[in-house]
Structure 1
Amino acid sequence: MPDVNALLDRLATDPEFQARWEVDPDSVLGEFDLTESQRAALASGDVDSLIDEGLAERHVQQMRVSW
């Protein structure tokens, strides 16, 4: 299953996926192999925790600015 980086890659590039995320993020999260701490960090916007959980450098600035 895809991880948190795959989720963020897809959110950045797929408008239909973004729309699904906005309507039902829990359903979208179910498609990805995320740890409970990754889910919590995404929900709270905790970038530092996501970095500890394997967030790719390419997403760090994007998360800090827009999440």
Structure 2
Amino acid sequence: MSTLNDFLQKLSSDADFMAAFQQDPETVMEEAELTDQEKEAIRSGDKDKLTAMTGDTRIYKKNVKEFV
């Protein structure tokens, strides 16, 4: 997995991936090779930070609110 966008998309479209994330988010983020900044943005659930990082103003609505 190469980007934060891919990670967020997979969370919303892959039930097994979401279940693994809910069980152990730190391991799943580490295995996805997210940067420390990306991990912190996900942990915080900060809509503005995630939007700035992904460049997608809809990413929060589509993917993030489901798990934060």
22 and 56 in structure 1: CA distance in 2 versus 1, 3 angstrom threshold: same
- Consecutive unaligned residues of structure 2, counting only runs of 5 or more, are none
Aligned ranges for residues 1-67 of structure 1 at < 5 Å?
1-62=1-62, 65-66=65-66, 67=68
Q: How many residues align?
A: 67
- Consecutive unaligned residues of structure 1, counting only runs of 5 or more, are none
11 and 37 in structure 1: CA distance in 2 versus 1, 3 angstrom threshold: same
Deviations 1:4-36 (A, max 9, x none): 111111111111111101101111101223222
TM-score by length of structure 2 reads 0.75
Once structures 1 and 2 are overlaid, which stretch shifts more, 18-27 or 55-64?
A: 55-64
Q: Percent identity?
A: 30
Separation in 2 of the partners of 1:44 and 1:6? Answer: 18
